[in-house]
Structure 1
Amino acid sequence: MIESSTLTWEVTGSRGYETAWVDLDPGRSLLRARGRAVGTDPEPYWISYALETGEAYVTRELRVRAESAAGARELVLRRDGDGRWSADGAPLPELTGALDCDLGLCPLTNTMPVLRHGLHRRAGEHRFLMAWVRVAELTVHASPQTYTGRGPDGDGGAVIRYASGDFRSDVRFDADGFVVDYPELARRVAAVRGLPDGQDRPDR
């Protein structure tokens, strides 16, 4: 059964906001999402994106459009069935071994590795190579990252330590694997879950 959510964050890292409309298929470990974001730091910009994963929440395609005073930019980032990455059709061999995209200043793209390894439900440390997309330039970079789960807390969520280079942050996730509070980056201000009868209700 597909689970739908609408999630909104105040993105403190860009002095803006983001809303993502997410469909999860837990039975097949698939995720699809589309999102819109507006930021004002270091300059005003807006972003729209569409994300699709294959099984085990492995990125299949990320499409991004950014607009700022410099004009509009677009990116199509893909990972094929053999694990080869490309950006607008150009190969990215430096991403060999990466499973996930990481759209800069986008808390949604922290969800896939958490769901794949169940880090919101059990303790463990995992090291990743991510296809990190810089916003709003939409350039793609190989980014080594570490996620360290401490197991669930008494509130139904979990805190996971995120590390990349010299940066560290203890990120709170909810029981579904979505970011609630990411210090120095984003704080969730609303979440609406789809109900079986087609009605929606806010849970925060």
Structure 2
Amino acid sequence: MGLLSAGLFWERRDVPGAEQVRLDTRNGLYAQGTALAAAPVGYACHYELQTDPGWTTARLDVRAEGAGWARGVRLELAAGRWRVTTSEQGDLDAALAAAGHPAAGLPGIEDPDRLYGAFDADLGGSPLTNTLPIRRLDLLGTPGVSHRLSVAWVLVPSLEVVQADQIYTPLGDRRIRFASETFAADLTVDDEGFVIDYPGLARRVTPGRGSS
């Protein structure tokens, strides 16, 4: 993949932080992004995401790193089954303990078969990955029925992978209601399904101009 000319930038609203991504949408989605956040510990999260032409996740590579630790996870979906590989250096738990937080889970997932039936990867704290089911299920049109789906949810910064149930409901006027078991938010998206405003999490910024 050559230079990526399209880009998006979000500022976090829940913690000090931001996310920048470069992307290409000519054949599904290919994206390279970096997210920075100050909590629960300061970290940088670098990721590379590839979907198939129908916007089903094919591969997600993530590396999170902070003072004294680094973790990596790769998720690959082929023939309906997920393969998950991980790496770990240093001691994230020590950094969390110093900040007054409990220990993190291990990166990855013990049994990838728990993810069977999931077609989307969801990177924690990233508004980019909400676009995947929006485009895959074609939710940009008029208001319609709710879609309940299973996703491979990557927690950040631990990079633990868990199966999660989520509900997406098109409300019309470029608004999508996103809900999980304990949370709901009405997302505002652009004409391509990329998040402009995610209440409580992030808002898109036009570089040089402030919030869009």
TM-score tier (shorter): 0.7 to 0.9
1:83 matched to 2:80? The reply is yes
Residue number in structure 1 paired with 2:31 = 33
Q: List structure 1 runs of 4+ shifted beyond 4 angstroms.
A: none
Residue number in structure 2 paired with 1:132 = 153
Per-residue CA deviations over 1:15-71 (Å, capped at 9, x if unaligned) read: 20000111002xx5x110000111001111001000001121000100001002340
Equivalent position SS for 1:115: helix
Task: Compute the displacement of 1:99 (Å).
Answer: 0.4
> Paired residue for 1:121, among 141, 164, 170?
141
> Paired residue for 1:149, among 170, 181, 191?
170
Residue number in structure 2 paired with 1:45 = 43
Residue number in structure 2 paired with 1:189 = 205
> Match for 1:161: what amino acid?
R
Residue number in structure 2 paired with 1:172 = 188
CA distance in structure 2 between the aligned counterparts of 1:85 and 1:161, rounded to whole angstroms: 27
Equivalent position SS for 1:114: helix
Instruction: Give ranges in structure 1 of 5+ residues lacking alignment.
Output: 193-201
Task: Compute the displacement of 1:116 (Å).
Answer: 1.6
% same residue? 42
Q: Name the count of aligned residue pairs.
A: 184
Are residues 122 and 174 of structure 1, via their aligned partners in 2, closer, same or farther at CA, if it must alter by over 3 Å? same
RMSD over aligned CA atoms reads 2.1
Residue correspondence of structure 1 range 89-100 to structure 2 within 5 A: 92-100=112-120
Equivalent position SS for 1:56: coil
CA distance in structure 2 between the aligned counterparts of 1:179 and 1:41, rounded to whole angstroms: 22
Residue number in structure 2 paired with 1:112 = 132
1:55 matched to 2:53? The reply is yes
> Match for 1:12: what amino acid?
R
Per-residue CA deviations over 1:159-195 (Å, capped at 9, x if unaligned) read: 1110001201011001111000001111001279xxx
CA distance in structure 2 between the aligned counterparts of 1:62 and 1:83, rounded to whole angstroms: 15
CA distance in structure 2 between the aligned counterparts of 1:52 and 1:115, rounded to whole angstroms: 14
> What TM-score results when the alignment is normalised by the length of structure 2?
0.81
Residue number in structure 1 paired with 2:20 = 19
Equivalent position SS for 2:25: strand
> Is this contact kept in 2: 1:84–1:91, CA < 8 A?
no
CA distance in structure 1 between the aligned counterparts of 2:69 and 2:117, rounded to whole angstroms: 33
> Is this contact kept in 2: 1:6–1:191, CA < 8 A?
no
> Paired residue for 2:70, among 64, 67, 72?
72
> What TM-score results when the alignment is normalised by the length of structure 1?
0.84
Task: Compute the displacement of 1:108 (Å).
Answer: 0.4
Structure 1 or 2: more strand by fraction: 1
